[in-house]
Structure 1
Amino acid sequence: MPRTLTALLLVVLLAGLSGCESVPDEPRARDGRRAARAEASRGVPEVPERERVLHAYRAAATALRTGQYEVAKARLDDAIARIGGIIANDADAARARGLFSAESTKVFIGEPYERVMAYYYRGILYWRDGEPDNARACFRSGQVIDSGPEQEKYDADYVLLDYLDGLASAKLQADGGDAWARAQAHAGEKVALPPYNPAANVLVFAEYGYGPRKYAAGPYGEQLRFHVEDSPSRTARLVLNQGRMIVPLPPYDDLGYQATTRGGRVMDHILGNKAVFKAGADVAGDVALAGAAIAHDQSRRRERRGKDGDDAEAAAIGLGILGVIGKVAAAATRPEADTRQWNNLPQRLSFAALKLAPGEYSGRIEFLDRDGHLLPARTRPVAFTVAGDERDTVVFFSELTG
């Protein structure tokens, strides 16, 4: 009887431990075939639904920087539509909130600063199309996202979202004073935001530096953290008319700051619970397995003494099974942080509003270091046309190339 119970325990243990092994979603051999098919088709590789928003984000930024505005709009519209549905309704997002669902298997919508940038870029494109009302709606949506409505309420603190909100209102003959005051409060005493000029007909958007990077930390990789490496380009300026006009483009917003200072989100809290549960389950499993070994040893001693060891052996079986359950539960709980990221975002955002006569303009955008020295390798030539109609001319300049 004891030997039979011991064998049963070993079978249960082996079965449980085999269940702890991580199994990839697909065999590695398939990766090469899929890559070959993608190469042969010379098309865009298939994008899993959970990655669609991420790819749309990246493609939109690249399209905007290369002047493919229709492509950028289509990509952003697709992403924004999915953001709205994903937050409340998507079954995969609900599944990802489950205790046994890995963070990286959920549908990607991005951290708040990533979602904000989707609306920010779309607002620029709306304004470029002569729709400041829709642009304002995008900037306001970004403010809502930054305030964290789906979790504990936070104060939105993007300078440009409020500033552009107010400017759009002024353009629409409404009062933008409150939005300007909020923007100035976000900017701080050391920065004096220019007052609104409804007659300004050229809106200059600029971005420079490289955005934050995500990485996983903690004993189980459950902590989502951000690495912010300060970019050499600390400010910028637009030089027109052979140097006769210089437009400062200081950094009003910093995405590194936005990524690292925003309060904890709900999903982070759920990941924290996973890590606690994994640690607790792991310790409980170790204790139970140790208890099983002790109980089994005691039963063997009783057997050698000619006493009935069945009770102790049964206890060993029970403790062993509990230990396996704890180990399996700990292995099934996969609390790794989701480090997928919009990896071609800038670090700094700037803006200027000008009043220029209709005509052709050319010049350059220059980037400067922390001491105000020119970084000549980063200088970009620029050219744009100011139309004679009532629609604002919107120009977008980026230090990033893709």
Structure 2
Amino acid sequence: MITGKSIGRFIVLVAMLATFAGCAPTKAQRQADRAIADYFAGDYSGATHRLQKLSEKTDENFVLNNLRLGSAALVNYDLAEAESAFLRAYEVINSVGVNDGGRSLGAILVDEKIKIWKGEPYERAMANFYLGLVYYMREDYGNARGAFENALFKLRDYSANEKKSERLDYRDVESNFAVASIMLGKCWQKLGREDLARANFTRAVELQPGLREIADYDRNMQSNLLLVVDLGHGPQKVTDFDGSIVGFAPVPAQVGPPPRASVRIDGQVISDSQLGEPTIDLLAMAQDRRWQSIDTIRAVKSGIGTGMIAVGAYEGMRGINGSGSAQRRDLTAAAALIGAGLLLKLTSQADVRQWEMLPRTVYVMPLHVSPGVHDIVVDFPSIPGLRQEWYGLEVPDKGDATYYMRMQRHNSGPFYWPPVRDEPRDVADGD
């Protein structure tokens, strides 16, 4: 016979287990995870192949999977694929009303994952940056300019009123994304606008005085070789024990500052060490409220849900010890409170999807070398063994050549120009 006490014990047990629910990964998630593993193992063709089908699905991960595909294709020098992927993501990120009213409202009130993933502000800035970089590498300076300008969108500063919880309690501030200012300055040089080029180089130095040599107008004007180098891993989203609060790890203090890069061309070290200065630190940006999405609704819902479950558990305990109508009243109240609390908790679970391929920092090194074919090594003196070697890089008589490198400890090369992309093996959907 089911008694009031047994029902009460069940209610209390539900309250105790409320925060341990989870969902198994889907087939698409497993495929994405394998592509990410391929990427970090240096199998860029395999990663690209796995992500191509995922990137075609117009679901909540459409933007994310296209950014992942763009990252894999860029490092593989498949610039046509990279441009297409980044452009698809770019168009959604920068569109207005991509989520219709009902969809956006549902994301706020029901489950955040119903809303199309657009990333944190720093992820959106990097999406614009990489699209601009691909255009720049393909000498499409007009479109590159547009993408870099979009990377400098205004930020929402919540820090002045962080004790308040109103969703619109912020002020717009100028972006401090210095690397986009540098590349925008280079675009304006190519487009013949000295005034705008100087203004953007000046802005980059105002943001980071250590970039003075990298953002020097004359140096960039004379440059015929540009190296863009990614290093490290970007911030990782983390949650607390019940998955309801997002944080970012590691913090810069835990891992130290990004190292300086060193360049050797045909065995000769480039003497100006200032060219190896990191232009950004995504770990630091992720800790800056201006580069975070507002998380107030989720935090409030989770806090309310926790409180309701706790009160429901208390009512359930009281119901166990009661009898008659009082017991029924207490158990009914407990069930209602725990049910409402569970709904709020479950719908406030943090969205921990992220663009895993992002680096910690980006190096932009404008160089002038004799036209012709050169062997180039990029390394980091403070990190023994971390290097990348390229043989036969071509530098033109006129204009400049831009080369992108993704540094990984176990993928140092040597690599040969032009790169030969491996044909990916057949990958079954379940592999």
Residue of structure 1 equivalent to 2:247: 225
Q: Determine whether 1:156 maps to 2:179.
A: no
Residue of structure 1 equivalent to 2:187: 168
Q: 1:145 to 1:111 in 2, by over 3 A?
A: farther
Find the partner of 2:357 among 331, 337, 344. Answer: 344
Q: 1:205 to 1:20 in 2, by over 3 A?
A: closer
Q: Determine whether 1:83 maps to 2:102.
A: no
Deviation at 1:161, TM superposition (A): 1.4
Deviation at 1:24, TM superposition (A): 6.7
Give the Cα separation in 2 of the matches to 1:8 and 1:366: 69
Q: Determine whether 1:196 maps to 2:217.
A: yes
Q: 1:21 to 1:268 in 2, by over 3 A?
A: closer
Q: 1:232 to 1:167 in 2, by over 3 A?
A: closer
Residue of structure 1 equivalent to 2:64: 54
Q: 1:328 to 1:196 in 2, by over 3 A?
A: same
Aligned partner of 1:398: which letter?
R
Find the partner of 2:381 among 360, 365, 368. Answer: 368
Deviation string, structure 1 residues 5-55 (Cα, Å, up to 9, x no partner):
x779959x87x96997988768x9x97xx98xx9xxx97486462223222
| Partner SS state of residue 225, structure 1 | strand
Q: Is the 8 A contact 1:365 1:382 kept in 2?
A: no
Q: 1:245 to 1:383 in 2, by over 3 A?
A: farther
Q: Determine whether 1:271 maps to 2:298.
A: yes
| Partner SS state of residue 334, structure 2 | helix
Q: Where does structure 1 lack aligned partners over 5 or more consecutive residues?
A: 300-312
Residue of structure 2 equivalent to 1:181: 202
Residue of structure 1 equivalent to 2:41: none
Q: Is the 8 A contact 1:237 1:365 kept in 2?
A: yes
* Percent of pairs with identical residues: 20
Q: Which moved more, 1:193-202 or 1:158-167?
A: 193-202
Aligned partner of 1:143: which letter?
L
**RCO (CA 8 Å, sep 6+): is it higher in 1 or 2?**
1
Deviation at 1:180, TM superposition (A): 2.4
Deviation at 1:353, TM superposition (A): 1.9
Give the Cα separation in 2 of the matches to 1:196 and 1:225: 39
Equivalent positions of 1:4-83 (< 5 A) are 10=7, 44=50, 47=54, 49-83=59-93
Residue of structure 2 equivalent to 1:303: none
Q: Where does structure 2 lack aligned partners over 5 or more consecutive residues?
A: 35-45, 159-166, 413-431
| Partner SS state of residue 397, structure 1 | strand
Give the Cα separation in 2 of the matches to 1:360 and 1:208: 25
| Partner SS state of residue 222, structure 1 | coil
Aligned partner of 2:188: which letter?
S
Deviation at 1:62, TM superposition (A): 2.0
Given the two structures, how large is their TM-score scaled by the length of structure 1?
Answer: 0.76
Deviation at 1:231, TM superposition (A): 7.5
Q: Determine whether 1:325 maps to 2:336.
A: yes
Q: Is the 8 A contact 1:288 1:323 kept in 2?
A: yes
Give the Cα separation in 2 of the matches to 1:154 and 1:81: 23
Q: Which has the larger radius of gyration?
A: 1
Q: Is the 8 A contact 1:360 1:385 kept in 2?
A: yes
Give the Cα separation in 1 of the matches to 2:328 and 2:381: 71
Q: 1:24 to 1:283 in 2, by over 3 A?
A: closer
| Partner SS state of residue 380, structure 2 | strand
Aligned partner of 2:303: which letter?
V
Given the two structures, how large is their TM-score scaled by the length of structure 2?
Answer: 0.72
Q: Which moved more, 1:136-145 or 1:42-51?
A: 42-51
Q: 1:223 to 1:239 in 2, by over 3 A?
A: same
Residue of structure 1 equivalent to 2:423: none
| Partner SS state of residue 275, structure 1 | helix
| Partner SS state of residue 376, structure 1 | coil
Residue of structure 1 equivalent to 2:427: none
Residue of structure 1 equivalent to 2:261: 236
Q: 1:249 to 1:170 in 2, by over 3 A?
A: same
Q: 1:358 to 1:380 in 2, by over 3 A?
A: closer
Give the Cα separation in 2 of the matches to 1:131 and 1:387: 17
Count of residue pairs brought into register by the alignment: 366
